[in-house]
Structure 1
């Protein structure tokens, strides 16, 4: 039955001039037709408010990264990374390698032509030679040509497979570039977070040191207990230890950023904006999941890999049928070098060859089974890529719908904790409360300040990730014509 179906496919291919690859049909997207709504997704930011910037309804893929990020320092860092990052350089070289492989495969569709010149010399024993001619010379000059007639589309299928692989590497390069833009921005935010944490820790350390000196002076004058001194010292030393840890964290964050840049941090960077002044676009529309099929390069890469697997089935099917090759030569042949181009020295040969597989130990059947299995694998990979993209966007929408309210609550909590510390310090100085109240208030204020900084960083990072998840980061400025995926 399998051979009958292959014969039918071959007849259809010859009749239409196509390959024997199955007709490609894009698998249905295994996700909902819309992104989640309600609950945490219901409070998405509206258009510009409180000085925020608006996307004005433009989709992420149409917004240049210079318009999404307004920090001049960050823009310069992204520009440097796009020129020097080694992962991106490897991705671009992979595109060139795939393009070269495609040209190699495509060349098999055309005849090959070569020139050849040769001399052969042979000695025959005297008792076996005529007229004692024991040495025989043969000189030849000519052209050789060969061509496989691709009746069943084997070479065409291999060419289609190589072309799909080339496009796949192009989309992979695009995904790497978009990811690099996002990574540089996220790592830059980590540096800004470290700066803010250091500022808060230094302020806490200064306040704790001042309190310690006051309490120590009171203890020396008999107005405070040793317990008060120990409690004041605890806050000061804790802040001092945190300061060293955060100095280390900032240095490591800068090192990670330098790795992404691909070169040392330039000394002439423009001034940057603080963490709470980044003003990223917060109202980029998500659209519908089907939009991701044309905006996410990782999805398009997965589909090209699926197309390559589909074409490989055509090549595996064609292996069951004859391969017809034409070889020929034309030139001159002479027993002496001087007679190569004399009249009557022309020589030619023509040798058509038909190779028909009869018994190959099941190799062709196994290759066809393998090709079909590999296609099923690529279908699953394609569907999983769509599901991952859907999850990325849904996570981004959930973050965008909750961080503003979380940060507003943390800001109110920070103000309340600061007021609590002021009141606790006043009550301690008036002798109403022990120093434990001041200690607890200082620790709680420091903790909520760190939480607020972390939440601000996470909010901005989630907006960057959502921009990437929706396909943003490929063009530099809004309105630019998108480059081809194989462009340098």
Structure 2
């Protein structure tokens, strides 16, 4: 009949095996939750290129004064400049995370010169030149998927920052166009009122 002490090595082996299997388990990438309703693939009232707003849609008004106002607003807006800086930071971070997937290579070259006096024996000074070249290659194996997950997360952050920048760009231009058209409408109403008074 086995004693409790004889079962101890068997229990230890089972414990170590379970720990190894737990360590080898990889965490799958989370799937995005499904949408509550099925969205149509395209709008009913538009199709093709009409679904996408042009990058400089305000130029369709063909108004040089409006173009100048929007250009001024886009160049001198602190919030837009901050969004541009954040997009550049996210792009640099994404490139750095993606570079970790590949081997890292470093090289160096060092040179030194040393003079040794000849001493009392009447010998001349000796000069020694030393040159050293080094080549370092390192590569982290993405065994558990950590590096690929970081690269995917960095890419998602960069795409998010880019879309946020585009949204701010379009929103700022829309605000300028809305204010400009409001001024144009007010001027037209003033002219209409003056013409009405003169007619009466």
TM range (shorter): 0.5 to 0.7
Q: In the aligned structure 2, how far is the partner of 1:57 from the partner of 1:144?
A: 53
Asked if 1:91 is matched to 2:98, the reply is no
Residue number among 63, 66, 82 corresponding to 2:59 in the alignment = 66
In the alignment, which residue of structure 2 is the partner of 1:81? 73
In the alignment, which residue of structure 2 is the partner of 1:146? 138
Kept in 2, the 8 Å contact 1:110–1:147? The answer is yes
Residue number among 20, 27, 31 corresponding to 1:24 in the alignment = 31
CA displacement, residues 85-105 of structure 1 (integer Å, 9 cap, x when unaligned): 443333233222211111112
- TM-score (norm. length: structure 1): 0.26
Change in Cα spacing, 1:142 to 1:71, as seen in structure 2 (3 Å) is closer
Q: In the aligned structure 2, how far is the partner of 1:102 from the partner of 1:56?
A: 34
Q: In the aligned structure 1, how far is the partner of 2:101 from the partner of 2:173?
A: 41
Change in Cα spacing, 1:70 to 1:27, as seen in structure 2 (3 Å) is farther
Q: In the aligned structure 2, how far is the partner of 1:56 from the partner of 1:99?
A: 32
Deviation at 1:188, TM superposition (A): 1.2
Deviation at 1:106, TM superposition (A): 1.8
For 1:320-359, what aligned pairs fall within 5 Å after superposition? none
Q: In the aligned structure 2, how far is the partner of 1:161 from the partner of 1:168?
A: 10
Number of corresponding residues: 152
Asked if 1:159 is matched to 2:166, the reply is no
Change in Cα spacing, 1:70 to 1:140, as seen in structure 2 (3 Å) is closer
Change in Cα spacing, 1:21 to 1:175, as seen in structure 2 (3 Å) is farther
Change in Cα spacing, 1:107 to 1:118, as seen in structure 2 (3 Å) is farther
In the alignment, which residue of structure 2 is the partner of 1:168? 160
For 1:299-310, what aligned pairs fall within 5 Å after superposition? none
Residue number among 174, 177, 188 corresponding to 1:182 in the alignment = 174
Deviation at 1:162, TM superposition (A): 0.6
For 1:280-291, what aligned pairs fall within 5 Å after superposition? none
CA displacement, residues 208-248 of structure 1 (integer Å, 9 cap, x when unaligned): xxxxxxxxxxxxxxxxxxxxxxxxxxxxxxxxxxxxxxxxx
Change in Cα spacing, 1:172 to 1:114, as seen in structure 2 (3 Å) is same
Kept in 2, the 8 Å contact 1:21–1:157? The answer is no
SS in 2 for 1:59: helix
In the alignment, which residue of structure 2 is the partner of 1:107? 99
CA displacement, residues 235-263 of structure 1 (integer Å, 9 cap, x when unaligned): xxxxxxxxxxxxxxxxxxxxxxxxxxxxx
Structure 2 gaps of 5+ residues are 1-18, 41-45, 113-130
Q: In the aligned structure 1, how far is the partner of 2:81 from the partner of 2:166?
A: 12
Larger radius of gyration: 1
Q: In the aligned structure 1, how far is the partner of 2:138 from the partner of 2:20?
A: 31
Q: In the aligned structure 1, how far is the partner of 2:136 from the partner of 2:168?
A: 46
- TM-score (norm. length: structure 2): 0.55
Kept in 1, the 8 Å contact 2:103–2:137? The answer is yes
CA displacement, residues 111-135 of structure 1 (integer Å, 9 cap, x when unaligned): 333346599xxxxxxxxxxxxxxxx
Q: In the aligned structure 1, how far is the partner of 2:176 from the partner of 2:89?
A: 27
Kept in 2, the 8 Å contact 1:114–1:145? The answer is yes
Change in Cα spacing, 1:187 to 1:145, as seen in structure 2 (3 Å) is same
Kept in 2, the 8 Å contact 1:115–1:143? The answer is yes
Change in Cα spacing, 1:150 to 1:56, as seen in structure 2 (3 Å) is closer
Q: In the aligned structure 2, how far is the partner of 1:194 from the partner of 1:171?
A: 34
Change in Cα spacing, 1:194 to 1:65, as seen in structure 2 (3 Å) is closer
SS in 1 for 2:170: helix
